[in-house]
Amino acid sequence: MSLLTKNYLEVKKYKGYKVRDSIKNIVLKIGLKLYELTDVKNILLRPKIQFIYIHHVFDDEVFNFEKLILKLMKTNTFITHSDAISRIENNMIDKPYISISSDDGFKNNLNAAKILDKYNIKCCFFINPDSIGLKDFDDIKNYCKNKLNMPPVEFLDWEDILYLKKNGHEIGSHSIGHLNFSKLNERAINDNLIESKQILESKCNKINHFAYPYGRLIDFNKMSYDAVFKTGYSSCSSAIRGCHFPSKTNTKRIIIKRDIVIMDHNFSNIFYFLYKNSYGNDQIFLNPFL
Ligand SMILES: [Zn+2]
């Protein structure tokens, strides 16, 4: 088990250094400075719901994760995924809210939970039932490499998931097999949604939320959008950046926009997008399928 990845530094080595990332960091840093300098309206305080999501909090990311949570707590009220969805649906967005979720079910999500529990913040963990409790090193290595483009990282087991649930966190489905839903036919999509829900519900009561693997607009389609609600979920989350503003119309069956957060990133990388989202148009709710 010592071969399993414990630090984000190892992930960076695995993925390789990219000049593109350094350039992006510089551009976002300048962009954030410009936002901060011209922000006479205190734009981050606009009423809205911002969803953020993580994949991991490795041992060398714990310090930054806590720092980020404390920084976000200054201007936002943290709410659960269910509360956030309900506030969008019922047009009850009266101040800046933030909701955190996590995809892929790595064991190091327990590091995140430890910090979140300290501040009584509840996360929604989107789990792939077929990765729960994988123990064989080669199975872990292949799953991480082929599905997640990651070095071998240990996954949560059932005991961990029940522990998270006991601490008030929510559990959602992230599909069986971490598949790209735009490449599946209707039957495979329905079966996957139903089966992943059933497996999780066999231990965790009702599962209401689903997050698309990969999650960009090209990774799902109208068929998979309709299927999520038809098979009994009440929300579907994407990996499309943005946030949700108060609106009286188009508030049902929303595709949830989420901003990815990687602790290793400079915080300007995160706050640039939070600013950008806050300047967004009030009435635009992302739902290309309605
Ligand atoms: Zn994923």
Residue 1 has pLDDT above 70, yes or no: no
Between the CA of 130 and the centroid of ligand 1 the distance, in Å, is: 13
Between the CA of 237 and the centroid of ligand 1 the distance, in Å, is: 11
Residue 282 has pLDDT above 70, yes or no: no
Between the CA of 258 and the centroid of ligand 1 the distance, in Å, is: 13
Between the CA of 212 and the centroid of ligand 1 the distance, in Å, is: 7
Between the CA of 260 and the centroid of ligand 1 the distance, in Å, is: 11
Q: Distance between CA atoms of 60 and 5, rounded to whole angstroms?
A: 11
Mean confidence (pLDDT) of the chain? 93
First to last CA, the chain: 47
Between the CA of 40 and the centroid of ligand 1 the distance, in Å, is: 37
Between the CA of 148 and the centroid of ligand 1 the distance, in Å, is: 7
Mean pLDDT of 142-152: 96
Between the CA of 33 and the centroid of ligand 1 the distance, in Å, is: 31
Between the CA of 41 and the centroid of ligand 1 the distance, in Å, is: 36
What does the pLDDT read at residue 48? 95
What does the pLDDT read at residue 284? 52
Between the CA of 288 and the centroid of ligand 1 the distance, in Å, is: 22
Mean pLDDT of 64-76: 96
Between the CA of 144 and the centroid of ligand 1 the distance, in Å, is: 11
CATH architecture for residues 8-278: Alpha-Beta Barrel (3.20)
pLDDT confidence tier of residue 286, bands split at 50, 70 and 90: low
Between the CA of 174 and the centroid of ligand 1 the distance, in Å, is: 7
Between the CA of 2 and the centroid of ligand 1 the distance, in Å, is: 24
Residue 2 has pLDDT above 90, yes or no: no
In the chain, % of residues over pLDDT 90: 81
Between the CA of 249 and the centroid of ligand 1 the distance, in Å, is: 30
Between the CA of 218 and the centroid of ligand 1 the distance, in Å, is: 15
